[in-house]
Structure 1
Amino acid sequence: MNLNIGQNEKEQLLVSNIWLQMSWTDVNLTWNSSDYGGLTSLRIPSSRIWKPDLLLYNSADPRFDSTYPTNLVVQSNGSIFYLPPGVFTSTCKIDITWFPFDDQLCKLKFGSWSHDMSQVDLDVISNQGDLSTYIENGEWILLGILGRRNKVLYRCCADPFTDVTYTIHIRRRTLYYGINLIIPCLIISSMTLLGFTLPPDSGEKLTLGVTILLSMTVFLLQLTETLPATSDTVSAIATYFASIMLMVAFSVVMTVVVLNFHYKSSEVHELNPLMKKVILQWLAFILNVKRPGAVKPPDRSNRFTSKVYTINGDGIPIPLSPQNQCQNCFTVNNSSLPNLAYPRHPHQVCSCCRKSYPVNGDCLNEEESLMRNFHDKIDSLPGPTVSQSVLAQHQVSRQAKHCACHGKQLDDILNEIQYMTNRLRKEDQVIEILDDWKFAAIVIDRLCFVMFSTFSIISSSICFMSAPHLIV
């Protein structure tokens, strides 16, 4: 049996070019060679003499018998040698469990169709096929051919039939599939990991994940066109592709979650305490993710205590007396803000400033203080006149009126300062909430990178290390 093979995996067919070698003895075809001038052999057409109806039982050819009728070589002693070539198409059940690292066993069953064992008894010439004329195949490696004689009793007949079955052992070459399927799949799956290192602000994070998913779909379709449509087993490469595709699809989902965290609005809700503890503390510590440096908000409680302010209201300046610094120092009592002191200079505070002038709208305390200062000044003069006393009293009254007027203006100014302070404090809180969401997105990105890297390495190792062979 000489053999050249080719396989149609999609249809689970084996196409082989076989030269059958058959020999038998016919006692009716003997002669004495000396009576015929030393003639020892004859070439007789196959249609002129009897030959066994030997057929391929598992043939898938529409003609069923694919042999070419050649001449038979008849010897003078009655032995007949028949060598019909044929291109046989036979069924071969493909086991795709370890595709493309698989071995296949295909059988060729030859036997007489109408003669039982009592009439035609078949036997093998050799247990091994003759591979002297075998031509190497680019996709398959022929490991061996084993022939065996079988005796089978069918329900139709009383006597058993004999057949000769040849088992062809072939192994697939993996270079083609490694270059065109496996390596591109590994590269594409690694691109999934790069997607988790892409900043969310780039705007291409989700696009990359969807593109990788579509690429994996194309490779899966290419694999589907190669393998037979069978549900008996699932190939290792199909399982690997499905796992990688599932990983890519899940990475797209996690990318959506990361983008949702990154662009979360603070007006919706803030990160709950449990998520803060799990993501921002535990996972960040385990994954060694450092939080970006946040700017600490300044202390706004004493921001006005060491600065000098000139406050104007309706175009009327607050009178500041260079001779008496007590008139330039105010202690503002307000329930919603801390005490704010406004000295003319932070280091020029006289002894009389120890007595504060609360601004409450009516300035009665200020007027009493001014009157007290007025009487002290009058007593210090050597000879005060009536006009000087009246003038001083008029000046004190005018300063009291100014104080009452500016006290209301200071209340309005303090309300504005309180509004601005609350607004700045709220902005700081909003920034802190947004920073929490963005940092949570960074931690989830790192977690997905570690998880998918581990999954990719483990799945690839299991798929390739459990294969019977890798490179052929």
Structure 2
Amino acid sequence: MHSSVSSNGVLMVRRQSVNDPSVLLRLPTVSVLVMHLNLCFFPDVEFFPFDEQVCTLVFGSWTYNENEIKLEFVQAELVDVSEYSASSIWDVIDVPASLVNKRSRIEFQVRIRRKTLFYTVVLIIPTVLMAFLSMAVFFLPTDSGEKITLTISVLLSIVVFLLLVSKILPPTSSTIPLMAKYLLLTFVLNVITILVTVIIINVYFRGPRTHRMPHWVRVVFLQYLPKLVCMKRPKSASERSAVRSGMAQLPGVGQFTLSPSAHHPLCPSADDRTATIRNTTLNETSAYYPLSTDALRAIDAIEYITEHLKRDEQHKSFRDDWKYVAMIIDRLLLYVFFGITVGGTCGILFSAPHVFQRIDQQEMLDRLKEKYDTASNIP
């Protein structure tokens, strides 16, 4: 706001506002000017919604220079806030005043801080919950078929919150708001989650007929990484059955001796037939017991079934290896994304200078009034 003096001794004050760009007031030279100002300023939204703004009002003269006019405060170098009505959006922090440019101009500063309760409940808490919800995809079993559905749903929710923030904040490219940074981080992490989820699903459904597991994959993902991510692979059904049906070696079993005392008196000893038994071979024995055609066919069928079962068991083992690799990747990415999400949340949201400071507006106004009254009483 600046003033000029005409030749007829009338002080003309020109006020610029948003609604009425030029209003000319004709006032006596010595007067008290009271007017309602429509202020327009560009806030610094770097730490939104934990931002603090400074609105500066400058009063000076266009007619006289700094050598021709000297301004001074009538009472105190402060703004009287006795008539101020508390706002539900902003908290007044301080209202200092000062004389600048060789006392030819006077500046009033109004320092205000945004109330964060509304934005914390409506914007910050849902965004943080969505950031951690996107990690739940690594807990979801791949067989359920809902991994991609969950990640896409979270991605759409983040886009809605991005649009909400863009409508709340003024369009400026000078800085990126704090909340927009966090939403952008969550958005990027969710997009990466979708990509790695597609890869995990691809690995999970691999089989021996289409993919052969490399040796380094088997060593890294089946031997070393399970210990790193605290996972233990359960035993297969064949291994458990082998343990249950294990055979124990008993002493003396399989050892046979020929002794005359071991035979009944009416039964002849087998000593005289030992040589005959030793000279008898398996081929000679089998020649006395030929197999029928049906028996041979049954043996071939049993061999075919056995081979088929072995092949199926081997293929199932290969598929289980790929599924276990996918589970290892899921658990590893869960730890990685959890660390990135926690670090990003603390690093971005807690970087604001006034996150944990709470202001009692009435107490602050009482303090400013007391400060103004004290300065006004000083002669």
Answer yes or no: same fold by TM over 0.5: yes
The residue aligned with 2:161 is 219
Match of 2:18 in 1: 61
Match of 2:129 in 1: 187
2:45 aligned counterpart, secondary structure = coil
Q: Does the 8 Å CA contact 1:53/1:112 hold for their aligned counterparts?
A: no
How far does the alpha carbon of each residue in 1:214-265 deviate from its partner, in whole angstroms, 9 at most, with x for none? 1111111111112222222222221111111111111122221221122223
Q: 2:59 maps to what in 1? A: 110
Rounded Cα–Cα distance in structure 1 between residues aligned with 2:278 and 2:134: 71
Q: Is the 8 A contact 2:148 2:197 kept in 1?
A: yes
Cα–Cα, structure 1 residues 353 and 255, in superposed 2: closer, same or farther, change >3 Å? farther
CA distance in 2, matches of 1:284, 1:184: 34
Query: Which residue matches 1:355?
Result: 280
After TM superposition, the structure 1 = structure 2 runs for residues 405-420 of structure 1, keeping only pairs within 5 Å, are 406=291, 412-420=297-305
Alignment of 1:52-451 (within 5 A): 52-55=11-14, 59-65=16-22, 80-90=30-40, 92-117=41-66, 120-125=69-74, 126-151=76-101, 162-296=104-238, 355-358=280-283, 403=290, 406=291, 412-451=297-336
Q: What is the alpha-carbon distance in structure 1 between the residues aligned to residue 230 and residue 117 of structure 2? A: 41
**Alignment check: 8 A CA contact 2:206 2:319 kept:** yes
Instruction: Say whether 1:467 aligns with 2:352.
Output: yes
Distance 2:12 2:72 in 1: 15
Aligned-partner residue type, residue 52 of structure 1: L
Q: What amino acid sits opposite 2:12 in the alignment? A: D
Secondary structure of the structure 1 residue equivalent to 2:42 = coil
Counterparts in 2 of 1:203 and 1:271: CA distance versus 1, 3 Å = same
Aligned-pair distance for 1:117? 4.3
Which SS does the other structure have where 1:259 is aligned? helix
Identical columns (%): 26
Deviations 1:108-154 (A, max 9, x none): 222233444466544444421111111111111111222223338xx
Q: Secondary structure at the match of 1:88?
A: coil
* SS of corresponding position for 1:250: helix
- For 2:285 and 2:353, locate their aligned partners in 1 and report how far apart those are by CA, in whole Å: 101
Read off the aligned partner of 1:428 and give its amino acid letter. E
Contact 1:55/1:111, CA 8 A, preserved across alignment: no
Q: Does the 8 Å CA contact 2:12/2:26 hold for their aligned counterparts?
A: no
Is the Cα–Cα contact under 8 Å of residues 70 and 84 in structure 1 kept in the other structure?
A: no
Paired residues of 2:179 and 2:349 also in contact (CA < 8 A): no
Which residue type is aligned with residue 207 of structure 2? S
Amino acid at match of 1:355: T
Higher relative contact order (CA 8 A, sep 6+): 2
Alpha-carbon RMSD: 3.3
> For the Cα contact (< 8 Å) 1:54–1:113, is it kept in 2?
no
User: Measured at CA, do residues 163 and 62 of structure 1 come closer, stay the same or move farther in structure 2, by a change above 3 Å?
Assistant: farther
Other structure's SS at 2:313 match: helix
Count of residue correspondences: 319
Secondary structure in 1 aligned to 2:58?
A: strand
What displacement does 1:447 show? Answer: 0.9
1:366 to partner: Cα distance? 7.0
Contact map agreement 2:182 2:349 (CA 8 A) in 1: no
Which entry has the higher C-alpha Rg, 1 or 2? 1
Q: Deviations over 1:374-420 (max 9, x none)?
A: xxxxxxxxxxxxxxxxxxxxxxxxx8xxx3xx466665554443332
Gaps of 5+ in 2: 243-275, 359-379
Deviations 1:200-227 (A, max 9, x none): 1222121011100111111111111122
1:138-196 deviations in Å (ceiling 9; x for gaps) = 111111222223338xxxxxxxx933222221111111110111000111112112221
Q: Which amino acid aligns with 2:164?
A: Q
SS, match of residue 37 in structure 2 = strand
User: 1:53 deviation in Å?
Assistant: 3.1
Counterpart contact for 1:143–1:171, Cα < 8 Å: yes
Q: Which runs of 5+ in 1 are unaligned?
A: 1-19, 27-46, 73-78, 153-160, 300-350, 359-364, 371-398
Which structure carries more strand by proportion?
A: 1
Provide the rounded CA distance (Å) in 2 between the counterparts of 1:267 and 1:96: 57
Contact 1:100 1:172 in 2 (8 A): yes
For 2:145, the aligned partner's letter is G
| Structure 1 partner of 2:363 | none
Q: CA deviation at 1:433?
A: 0.6
Equivalent in the alignment of 1:303: none
Q: By how many angstroms is 1:423 displaced? A: 1.7
1:395 corresponds to: none
